[in-house]
Amino acid sequence: MEPTVSFFSGFAPKDLLFLGEAALRTMWISVLSISIGTVLGVVFGWILYEGKWAAALTVAPILDVFRSVPLIIQLVLFYNFAPIVGLNLDPFASGVVILTIYTASLVANVARGGIEAVQPSMRRAARSLGMSYWQDLRHVVLPIGGRAVFPAWVGVALGVMKDSALVSVLGYVELLKASQILITRTQEPFLILTLAGAFYFALSYPISRYAASLERKWAQ
Amino acid sequence: MIEIQDLHKYFGALHVLKGINLNVEKGEVLSVIGASGSGKSTLLYCINGLEPVQQGKVVVDGTDVHAKGTDINKLRQQLGMVFQQWNSFPHLTALENVALAPKIVKGKSKAEAREIAAQQLKHVGLGEKLDVYPSALSGGQQQRLAIARALAMEPEYMLFDEATSALDPELVGEVLETMRMLAEEGMTMICVTHEMGFARDVSDRVAFFHQGVMEEIGPPEQIFGTPQSEHTQKFLANVR
């Protein structure tokens, strides 16, 4: 009699390494998207603040679309329709593009709030010292407004990091996708999802702690 | 010298300054008094170009403040300004607050800027507070910090916009004392103020503003002793 072929095998130590690598990919796609998205978001936030009604008619509605449509829909739509206009992006690049725009649309309003948090009289004082518009923006508005909205930005960044799990639907093997692969093989969803959750926590927690310590330092 | 010629300023339909003519010589201390809304503060904002004007002009040392092509950022270095709200930069220490503009605006080296800052802070009596953040300073100390910050740009003129109005009564004295010291050192100053004692004792001339018009200007003895305008008499009777 033929021996039974086993399709399933238990969780092995090397699978931990596989999850670890996937966690690094989650980190990489998040760091890239959050960094570029934050820079873009700050620029958009400035446009929203300075642009008045012109921005309200142009940039604001576009950002609203990206803020309001579920990320998973944006990812699938972009990944499948980009090739039609000649953009052949792999899952990673598609993920970065959408996560970046998504981050930017969230950061834009945080950034605008930051600029609004700086008293006009403070900016007048800066200008009265001979600072140019840009010097005032760089040396007064950015540090003061930035600190005011830093907790909100950390919230956005951690949210985007967790939302990067959705890029798994495009086939990019980040933490969630890696877990699904292992679950299929080992049939141990409880163990593996717990491990994946622990990895997400390990990525987020240092950031929250670091953010909290920065806020404490600034508060003095 | 600051020359103000037929200056008109509107906020929308509101006519805030109605044809001001005024010259301030180097070394002069001018106090501007009058009720709230009389246009005193707006005058200061127009002098250093923080507010545009609709008619007339302001000329500072031969430069038309509101002319196209005037480098307003350069001109403002000549016109130090202290506001009602002291506006210290909360993320910087006292020393950094004062050193920032010399460094980024004047392009001084970091060491040079810090030296200037330390000197100016000592000048206003904050030599012990160099590394303290503004949140740990009293209102009076923060206002003196604002004075040091303006002085660090080595201005030719100082504009004070009700510098003591937002302070607790017991802190007014130290700021007035600092202003008095500057006046004695020969700084040219325009002080919008509600402190009649300061206006009387320290000023060379006092101007009284009423509803956008400079009703009366003269030496303090004249304005406080024998005011000519009916509005001046009324105002002074009320503040005494």
Which of chain B's residues have a Cβ under 8 Å away from the Cβ of A127? 50, 73, 76
pLDDT tens string, chain A, 220 residues long: the values are 666 666 678 888 889 999 999 999 999 999 999 999 999 999 999 999 998 788 888 889 999 999 999 999 999 999 999 889 888 899 999 999 999 999 999 999 999 999 999 999 999 999 999 999 999 999 999 999 999 999 999 999 999 999 999 999 999 999 999 999 999 999 999 999 999 999 999 999 999 999 999 999 888 7
Minimum CA–CA partner of A133 in chain B: B73
Distance (Å, rounded) from C-alpha B23 to C-alpha A202? 68
**240 residues of chain B, pLDDT tens digit each:** 999 999 999 999 999 999 999 999 999 999 999 998 899 999 999 999 999 999 999 999 999 999 999 999 999 999 999 999 989 999 999 999 999 999 999 999 999 999 999 999 999 999 999 999 999 999 999 999 999 999 999 999 999 999 999 899 899 999 999 999 999 999 999 999 999 999 999 999 999 999 999 999 999 999 999 999 999 999 999 886
- Note whether B65 contacts A: Cβ–Cβ < 8 A: no
CB contact under 8 A, A130 and B150: no
Q: Which residues in chain B are contacts of A214 at CB distance < 8 A?
A: none
Of A124, A125, A131, Cβ closest to residue B105: A131
Nearest CA in chain B to A147: B91
Say yes or no for a CB contact (<8 Å) between A124 and B73.
no
Burial class (CB in 10 A: 0-12, 13-18, 19+), A84: exposed
Note the pLDDT of residue A10.
Answer: 82
**Could A128 and B76 be called an inter-chain contact, meaning their C-beta atoms sit closer than 8 Å?**
yes
Provide, rounded to the nearest whole percent, the portion of chain B with pLDDT above 90. 95
In 10 A of CB B126, how many CB atoms?
23
Give pLDDT, residue A52.
Answer: 79
- Cβ distance A128 to B73 less than 8 Å, yes or no, reads no
The reported pLDDT for the residue numbered A219 is 81
Tell me the chain B residues in contact with residue A140 when contact means C-beta distances shorter than 8 Å: 89
Inspect the interface and report whether the beta carbons of B50 and A122 lie closer than 8 Å. no
Cβ of B81 under 8 Å from any chain A Cβ? yes
pLDDT of residue A9: 80
Q: Which one of A119, A125, A130 has the shortest CB-CB distance to B105?
A: A130
Within a 13 Å sphere around the CA of B185, how many CA atoms are in the beta-carbon half?
A: 14
pLDDT of residue A51: 87
* Set of chain A residues whose Cβ sits within 8 Å of the Cβ of B85: 119, 121
Alpha carbon distance A35, B59 (integer Å): 48
Query: Does B157 contact A at CB distance below 8 Å?
Result: no
3-state per-residue secondary structure call for chain B: CEEEEEEEEEECCEEEEEEEEEEECCCCEEEEEECCCCCHHHHHHHHCCCCCCCEEEEEECCEECCCCCCCHHHHHCCEEEECCCCCCCCCCCHHHHHHHHHHHCCCCCHHHHHHHHHHHHHHCCCHHHCCCCHHHCCHHHHHHHHHHHHHCCCCCEEEEECCCCCCCHHHHHHHHHHHHHHHHCCCEEEEECCCHHHHHHHCCEEEEEECCEEEEEECHHHHHHCCCCHHHHHHHHHHC
Of B50, B74, B90, the CB nearest to A127: B50
Closest CA–CA distance from residue B173 to any residue of chain A (Å): 23
The chain A residue lying nearest B150, using CA atoms, is: A129
- In a mutational test of the B interface, the residue from A127, A128, A136 whose CB has the highest number of chain B CBs within 10 Å is A128
Instruction: Kindly report the CATH number that applies to the domain delimited by A22-214.
Output: 1.10.3720.10
**Token duo for residue B38:** 């009389």
Estimate to the nearest angstrom the gap between the alpha carbon of A5 and the chain centroid: 43
For chain A, counts of helices (H) and of strands (E): 9, 0
Least CB–CB distance from B101: residue in A121, A130, A218: A130
Domain ranges (residues) in chain A: 22-214
B-interface mutation test, from A119, A121, A124, A129, most B Cβ less than 10 A away: A129
pLDDT value for B213: 94
Residue A1 is predicted with a pLDDT of 60
ipTM of the complex, rounded to two decimals: 0.89
pLDDT computed for residue B240 by the predictor: 67
Cβ-Cβ contacts under 8 Å for B230 (sequence gap 6 or more): none
